[in-house]
Structure 1
């Protein structure tokens, strides 16, 4: 009996240590395919230049835009309004394209999914409650302020995160900051540019008849 208890304690300690050290390091399989690498580089340049005509040529005619039935180039234009000076499209695309991604094959289709915070996120972690720290030596502060006390430093950790919501404002919702809970239960705040939810917007790319196209640009689950 004592031996069994000892084993259980060892297992529990091992699990605790692993949980505290849960990480998601950046991964980018894009360069493995030369044709995709060339395509993505052109896409990145187009995003920097806000080159809407080029972006439209990269979209699949039936691009998947939501889980609610939105698809196609027309819906893309209505959703993202790329010709508008305050369109959120460019910042979102830039963020996604700088966060790598991985290839997946399903149903005979080979798809490159970006960013890695979606495609490589662990299946055994709740994607609705947890998010990835997308940087090294990221400061966690006691309050949502750059002058607040530093609680700890994180590098590519997976943490429980509460993102500000315009639909359901909470007292701790502060623009520019994400509330996180560390493995030991400590609360803190991280600048939102360093935190990414696995169910945030992502891009799916497929090579169809020799041409790479964006077949999905969706968020949520």
Structure 2
């Protein structure tokens, strides 16, 4: 995404550190992407961001609508169309109507998966700014955790354990599950919260002198 990230990703790929796939006896281990997909959290080094993120996490935990809207910048970009943006559009999109997925769970998901710094702004989750050029962002997801179970079907039989690995995805999230293809070609599912996509929901924050604010909250491309 950024030039500095591209250089780093090339260096990481050259290291060829194999991702870990802890397979059950019935599932062979076959390596997938060979770069480093470990979560990073550059925002912790940006003055003021860590405290702001803690505040925002508290707002999300309390489900405090008024406080959340107070942290949305007046010019925040919330869609790729001609929406007005800002707190009013955020309110209309997520609270005045009835979205399929509550904003609280979406924010929890993006805030808990690292960050990257871009010219003083902070982007979450980390895959939104740190994505290998060799992976198709539309047909690939990253499982950044360790020992994440994969199942043959939702609430079905566990078929593998996954650690910091990129996998092809066959479809969008469906009722809390993300379909994926395991390294041996087997179809499986993982819990949707365990997978990250660079074109899923992501947020950007920065301080223009009036305090840290949510400046964009988008999905897609």
For Structure 1 versus Structure 2, the TM-score category normalised by the shorter chain is 0.7 to 0.9
Match among 92, 110, 128 for residue 118 of structure 1: 128
| 1:41 alignment counterpart | 54
1:206–1:213 CA contact under 8 A, matched in 2? yes
1:81–1:87 CA contact under 8 A, matched in 2? no
Divergent runs of 4+, >4 A? 16-20, 82-87
Q: Of the two, which has the highest radius of gyration? A: 1
TM-score (norm 1): 0.78
1:82–1:89 CA contact under 8 A, matched in 2? no
Tell me: CA distance 1:193–1:58, structure 2 relative to 1, closer, same or farther (3 Å). same
Tell me: CA distance 1:85–1:190, structure 2 relative to 1, closer, same or farther (3 Å). closer
Tell me: CA distance 1:51–1:86, structure 2 relative to 1, closer, same or farther (3 Å). farther
Aligned-pair CA distance for 1:195: 1.3
Matched residue count: 194
- 1:98-155 deviation per Cα after TM superposition (whole angstroms, max 9, x unaligned): 11211012xxxx2100011222222331100001113210122223333x1x332111
2:32–2:167 CA contact under 8 A, matched in 1? no
Task: Classify the secondary structure of the residue corresponding to 1:81.
Answer: helix
| 2:183 alignment counterpart | 183
2:32–2:166 CA contact under 8 A, matched in 1? no
TM-score (norm 2): 0.78
Q: Partners in 2 of 1:40 and 1:93 — Cα distance?
A: 11
Q: Partners in 2 of 1:104 and 1:164 — Cα distance?
A: 28
1:134–1:194 CA contact under 8 A, matched in 2? yes
Q: Partners in 2 of 1:209 and 1:122 — Cα distance?
A: 33
Residue 91, structure 1, aligned to residue 105, structure 2: yes
